[in-house]
Amino acid sequence: MATIPLLELAHARSGDKGNTANVGVIAYEPSDYPLIRDRVTADRVVEHFRGLIEGPVERFELDNLHALNFLLHGALDGGGTVSLMTDAQGKVFSTALLRMEIEVPDEVAERVRGRGRVPAAGPGASP
């Protein structure tokens, strides 16, 4: 097994509903979705965002889109116009969640290495 950031397996988009942020996490490859569904539990997301959100986390599965939707309650300092946060509308909770480190089989880690980042440029850069 290897430990990799969720960033290499999934992309994401986040937004707001009042004082709740939502993060949709989408597997790049449908075949990796079951792994994400197993590893990225609501409990792990609570732990991941400790100190950043105040309320509970709800998780919904969208097997049809190979995606999970998380509601992070109490994430936005009151939300919308009330919040003092730079990210008052929860726009970048998406990549914050993709920082999560998850355990995957070695062959998966090998296959997805570098996914989610701008490919390195310049002499000697990998394609």
79 contributes a contact to other proteins by CB under 8 A: yes
Contact with other proteins (CB under 8 A): which of 1, 3, 64, 125?
64
120 contributes a contact to other proteins by CB under 8 A: no
3-class SS of residue 126: coil
Task: Write out the DSSP string of 24-67.
Answer: EEEESSGGGHHHHHHHS-HHHHHHHTBTTB-S-EEEEEEGGGTE
Contact with other proteins (CB under 8 A): which of 5, 17, 44, 46?
17
Which distant-in-sequence residues (6+ apart) come within 8 Å of 46 by Cβ? 56, 57
Lookup: tokens for 90:
């929860």
Q: Which range touches other proteins (CB under 8 A), out of 39-47, 75-83, 106-114?
A: 75-83
72 contributes a contact to other proteins by CB under 8 A: no
Give how many residues touch other proteins by CB under 8 A: 44
Q: How many CB atoms lie within 10 A of CB 74?
A: 16
Mark residues 23-62: x for contact with other proteins by CB under 8 A, - for none: -x-x-x-------------------xxxxx-----x-xxx
Q: How many CB atoms lie within 10 A of CB 19?
A: 20
Q: Which residues bind other proteins (CB under 8 A)?
A: 11-13, 15-19, 22, 24, 26, 28, 48-52, 58, 60-65, 67, 69, 71, 77-82, 84-87, 92, 94-96, 99, 116, 118
